[in-house]
């Protein structure tokens, strides 16, 4: 058939399609708005979040049950919320017999002041402590070895994934201590507060049976030393952060709520604080390398996106 005839035929087909109501299939355009599925998942996350937007202990199975979505669809929706910056940070879960209940569920940090969630949310301020020092794992092993060899061996046997979860737990214990008031850095905790902290730690980690805790070799008789050492590490982490916060103009010893959040770099600490410790500034970045400097920003959105991502304040958008 000649080309002209083909064209003529195509034109007739198009006219026929118009007469019988054929339409162009809808094309989904990229949008900065939340879909219905996004909103439903976000509603579930917000309902389980604390005042800082942190959602702990809500695994994929829990989300499937609460939303009615398949795992494939859930992952797509979570990725979408991260790309849009509504989920600002994420710490994956882990299945290991080291931890009580074996399964450590994922944690999500929502940006409660995101425009898509409305305005007027008092998020307080964020203080980022940027220390280019030894990696935390190396510090923990060295400190443990100076206390007792069995503690050093315990931490050396932890896999990298185990240690990441341990460090995230340690941030939770430090948040607990920082949100409770004690008068000055370096002062020992009271007996009641120390007992509460040790109870939190003991509930998170698998107690040894004989000479084994999970997959790690640890004598049951040394377990109390392990818990005490975890408490010491949490206290030291809280003490260092408190020392920085006490240098802020509007720091208060009591009534301050504090939450540490996961960061991309383990040497960096991001602290959400209510109320903000610096009047009129919502974001403070304290840098120790190559020199001591304190940078002030009206809001964290004024930071470069790479810095927000590194500080755990925003998930990296696609591309």
The residue that leads in pLDDT, 181 or 52, is 52
The per-residue pLDDT for range 13-61, each reduced to its tens digit, is 445 444 444 445 444 445 567 889 999 999 999 999 988 888 987 888 8
The per-residue pLDDT for range 189-217, each reduced to its tens digit, is 777 888 888 888 888 877 666 555 555 56
- Structure-token pair, residue 217: 């070799």
| Residue 7: pLDDT band with limits 50, 70, 90 | very low
CA atoms within 13 A on the CB side of 245: 34
- Structure-token pair, residue 201: 């730690």
The residue that leads in pLDDT, 57 or 301, is 301
- The pLDDT value given to residue 97: 56
Please give the Cα distance from 300 to 211 (Å, whole number): 48
- The pLDDT value given to residue 31: 58
- The pLDDT value given to residue 22: 44
- Structure-token pair, residue 244: 């920085």
| Residue 116: pLDDT band with limits 50, 70, 90 | confident
Res 151 pLDDT > 60: yes
Q: Nearest-5° angle of CA 264, CA 309, CA 232?
A: 35
The arithmetic mean of pLDDT across residues 2-22, rounded, is 43
**Omega before residue 137 within 30° of 0, cis:** no
% of the chain with per-residue pLDDT over 70? 74
Res 65 pLDDT > 90: yes
DSSP conformation letters of the chain: --HHHHHHHHHHHHHHHHHTT--PPP-PPP-SSPPHHHHHHHHHHHHT--TTSEE-S--HHHHHHHH---HHHHHHHHHHHHHTTSEEEEE--EE-TTBTTSEEPPEEEE-TT-GGG-S-----EEEEEE--SS-HHHHHHHHHHHH-HHHHHHHHHS-HHHHHHHHHHHHHHHHHHHHS--SSTTPPPPHHHHHHHHHHHHHHBPPPBTTEETTEE--GGGHHHHHHHHHHHHHHHHHHHHHHHTTSTT--SSS-EEEEE--SSTTEEEEEEES-SSTT-SEEEEE-SSS-EEEEESSGGGS-HHHHHHTTSSPPPP-
- The pLDDT value given to residue 106: 78
- The pLDDT value given to residue 214: 53
> How far from 129 is each of 138, 154, 287, CA to CA, in Å?
19, 28, 6
Report the Cα 108 to chain-centroid distance in Å.
6
Structural domains of the chain sorted by starting position, each given as residue range(s) with its CATH number in brackets: 36-117 (1.10.10.10), 125-310 (no CATH)
- The pLDDT value given to residue 119: 54
**What average pLDDT does the structure give for the chain?**
78
- The pLDDT value given to residue 69: 93
| Residue 64: pLDDT band with limits 50, 70, 90 | very high
């Amino acid at each position: 058939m000649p080309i002209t005839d083909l064209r003529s035929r195509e034109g007739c087909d198009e006219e026929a399609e118009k007469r019988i109501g054929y339409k162009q299939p809808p094309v989904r355009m990229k949008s900065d708005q939340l879909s219905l599925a996004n909103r439903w998942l976000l509603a579930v996350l917000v309902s389980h979040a604390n005042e800082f937007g942190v959602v702990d202990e809500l695994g994929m199975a829990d989300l499937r049950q609460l939303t009615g979505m398949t795992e494939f669809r859930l992952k797509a929706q979570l990725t979408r919320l991260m790309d849009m910056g509504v989920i600002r940070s994420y710490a994956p879960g882990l299945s290991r017999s080291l931890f009580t209940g074996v399964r450590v569920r994922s944690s999500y940090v929502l940006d409660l002041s995101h425009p898509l969630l409305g305005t007027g949310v008092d998020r307080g301020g964020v203080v980022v402590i940027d220390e280019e020092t030894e990696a935390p794992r190396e510090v923990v092993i060295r400190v443990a070895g100076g206390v007792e060899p069995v503690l050093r061996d315990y931490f050396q046997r932890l896999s990298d994934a185990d240690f990441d979860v341990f460090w995230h737990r340690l941030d939770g214990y430090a948040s607990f201590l920082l949100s409770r008031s004690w008068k000055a850095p370096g002062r020992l905790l009271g007996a009641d507060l120390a007992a509460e902290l040790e109870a939190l730690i003991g509930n998170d980690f698998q107690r040894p049976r004989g000479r084994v805790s999970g997959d790690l070799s640890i004598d049951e008789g040394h377990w109390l030393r392990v818990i005490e050492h975890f408490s010491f590490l949490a206290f030291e982490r809280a003490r260092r952060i408190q020392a920085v916060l006490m240098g802020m103009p509007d720091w208060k010893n009591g009534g301050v709520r504090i939450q540490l959040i996961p960061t991309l770099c383990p040497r960096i600490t991001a602290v959400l604080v209510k109320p903000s410790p610096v009047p009129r500034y919502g974001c403070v970045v304290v840098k120790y390398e190559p020199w001591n400097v304190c940078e002030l920003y009206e809001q964290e959105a004024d930071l470069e996106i790479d810095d927000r991502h590194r500080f755990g304040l925003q998930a990296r958008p696609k591309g």
